[in-house]
Amino acid sequence: MENITFSKKELERYSRHLIIPEFNIEGQRKLKAAKVLVVGSGGLGSPLLLYLTAAGVGTIGIVDFDVVDDSNLQRQVLFSVDDVGTPKVEAAKKRLEGLNPHINFVVHNEPLTSHNALDIVKDYDLVADGTDNFPTRYLVNDACVLLGKPNVYASIFRFEGQLSVFNYTNKEGVLGPNYRDLYPTPPPPGLVPSCSEGGVIGVLPGIMGSLQANEVIKVITGVGEPLSGRLFLYDAAAFETRTLKIYRDENNPLNGKNPTITELIDYDHFCGIVPKGEKQRDVKSVSVQELKDLIEKQEDIQVIDVREGYEYEIANINAELIPLGEIEAQLDKIASDKKVVLHCRSGKRSADAIELLEKKYGFKNLYNLDGGILAWADEIDTSLAKY
């Protein structure tokens, strides 16, 4: 560590760290020597990357396969209007290099998968998980456990955030719990609404990602007590915080008493996700073009929108609104003697509705709108807002 040196410019830049007695130049040296991988450069990744860069973490890897979209700017403060359409890793690197030229950035413009995860993660000391879906959560966790890297975790939903430090070995050499100790298996798809369905208040990832950055710095420098073996919960709406205990579970398939997972697995399958391309549902469907033709020919059809009222307010195609949760209570409104097209945002909830109506009530005249209102906005009416 003694061979890590700083230029005059760096010393001046980091001076507010250097004058904290328990942090000092030793802490700064550890930061400069550290290699941190940030998975996901979105809502959580933005503050994480900004603060880790500003703080002087020597090597920062960024994994993301996405491009910047207008709907990101509500919370992903790394990006600007000019970045829309640009790969996130490129836009992030450009912004972060402007913030601190003393950092070595490594970009991985690809999704993290079971095939590349071990190869990417192995070069880093620590991973910060700012991803947005269950398969990648388990993938990041398992890769970290298999490679013995700490995993600084945060997750958000609407007004609620979770934070913890997983797979951390403390100063006494005792290993703490990981994500599978907390949640052995993921919820089946559809049971927990996503952020794109459920929404998230824009400031929340800013708060949780900043807390994550602080934990990363603590783990690297050894200053303070990392949030290992504890789960921090933040309810931004009520302003309630709770810190709960997490224990290692002897049944953990990665590092419990009888480990059964010794390499990375198929995480989409583990999380119950049917690969794209495979016919997901056994329901009849129409394309947006077919629906447009039916409407233009003034065919006698019924079109039902199964989304929520607040989604209808954002964009609609003048369909009858019957939210999925009210379908059974409003059965009498659904025609059984003519073609009925159901739609939602992307086609999933309307397929759920059709399955229910066919199995439980014997409907035979229902068609799912492929791709939902998003496909309609792409192909038929580009003036509609996509969300």
Kindly state the DSSP code that residue 72 receives in the 8-state scheme.
G
Judged by CB under 8 A, the chain residues 46 through 75 that form the site for another protein are none
β-pair partners for 334? none
Q: How far is the CB of 313 from another protein (least distance, A)?
A: 18
Binding flag, residue 235, another protein (CB under 8 A): yes
* Residue closer to another protein (CB basis): 170 or 251: 251
Binding flag, residue 113, another protein (CB under 8 A): no
In the residue annotation, 271 being an active-site residue is answered as no
In the residue annotation, 195 being an active-site residue is answered as yes
Count of CA atoms in the C-beta half-sphere (13 A) of 366? 25
Nearest to residue 333, comparing CAs of 351, 349, 320? 320
Q: Out of 14, 23, 28, 43, which residue is the one contacting another protein (CB under 8 A)?
A: 43
Set 195, 233, 265, 301: catalytic member: 195
Q: How far is CA 117 from the centre of its chain?
A: 17
338-361: burial string, b at 16+ Cβ within 10 Å, e else? ebbbbbbbbbbbbbbbbeebbeee
Binding flag, residue 140, another protein (CB under 8 A): no
CB under 8 Å to 236, separation ≥6 — which residues?
A: 159, 160, 161, 201, 203, 204, 207
Binding flag, residue 183, another protein (CB under 8 A): yes
Q: Out of 101, 148, 193, 202, which residue is the one contacting another protein (CB under 8 A)?
A: 193
C-beta of residue 112 within 8 angstroms of C-beta of residue 136? yes
Judged by CB under 8 A, the chain residues 194 through 223 that form the site for another protein are 194-196, 198, 200, 205
Tokens (6 digits) for 346 = 């992307």
* Residue closer to another protein (CB basis): 87 or 111: 111
* Residue closer to another protein (CB basis): 17 or 345: 345
Which residues are near another protein by CB under 8 A? 43-44, 131-135, 137, 154-160, 162, 182-187, 189, 191-196, 198, 200, 205, 231, 233, 235, 237-238, 240, 242-247, 271, 273, 325
